[in-house]
Chains A and B, each alone.
Chain A
Amino acid sequence: DTGVSQDPRHKITKRGQNVTFRCDPISEHNRLYWYRQTLGQGPEFLTYFQNEAQLEKSRLLSDRFSAERPKGSFSTLEIQRTEQGDSAMYLCASSSLGAEDSPLHFGNGTRLTVT
């Protein structure tokens, strides 16, 4: 299966700790997106990359959040000093730039629980 892979699937952490999630996109995709989803809501856009360049960040992405895609392949999302309000599903998606009709392909997310 060459779909989008996210690791870990679940993460439980205590308030104040730092956490890092990883996303491996579909190999030929040059766009990578991070979304956050809370229970009963649709996914909320956080940020996206085109190759290694981070092109846009949502206002939802506070200073405690940082995302990287160092070599234009996998990406990491780090949350520092976690708060209970950070508890959510963090979804990664990828798509292929250059095709107007290239949809997003999502991973199954990392579910974060902050206690």
Chain B
Amino acid sequence: LAKTTQPISMDSYEGQEVNITCSHNNIATNDYITWYQQFPSQGPRFIIQGYKTKVTNEVASLFIPADRKSSTLSLPRVSLSDTAVYYCLVGDNFNKFYFGSGTKLNVKP
């Protein structure tokens, strides 16, 4: 199983772009990269998923280099409500997923 490494915490200010990078050196050929957001007392919420290159949706972008050994979640123009823990997961959907400790993002006014 591919292990992931993320920064423990990050600080940002409202309106800034935030980039959170995740390392997954042992990613397997069939693995997807998925990011979740979690607020206190709630379950994780799916943000974005990708396999290679760049994926963009209405809330975030995911950048994956050619070697797929890392990925970067980009949150444009964060607001206070983006303060949460962000988890990077690697795996294929035919197996269970393992969460790391995540990155605690603190957005300041």
Write the residues of chain A forming the contact surface with B, with a CB cutoff of 8 angstroms. Answer: 4, 33, 35, 40-45, 48, 56, 89, 91, 93, 95, 97, 99-109, 111
Contacts and interface: CB of A to CB of B under 8 A. Distances in A.
A41 B8 CA distance: 11
B96 A103 contact: no
Given A103-B34, A106-B44, A111-B41, A42 B96 contact: no
Contacts of B30: 100
A39 to B, nearest CB: 10
A91 B34 CA distance: 18
Interface residues of B, number: 24
A45 B46 contact: no
Contacts of A4: 43
Nearest to B92: A100
Which 9 A-B pairs rank lowest in CB-CB distance, beginning with the nearest? A106-B43, A42-B99, A103-B46, A43-B99, A102-B93, A45-B96, A108-B43, A106-B44, A108-B42
B101 interface: yes
Contact of A101 (B32, B96, B99): B32
A102 B91 CA distance: 11
Contacts of B45: 106
A41 B94 CA distance: 24
B96 A48 contact: yes
27 contacts: A33-B96, A33-B97, A40-B101, A42-B85, A42-B87, A45-B97, A45-B98, A89-B41, A91-B44, A93-B43, A95-B93, A100-B30, A100-B92, A100-B93, A100-B94, A101-B93, A103-B46, A103-B49, A103-B93, A104-B34, A104-B44, A104-B97, A106-B36, A106-B44, A106-B45, A109-B42, A111-B41
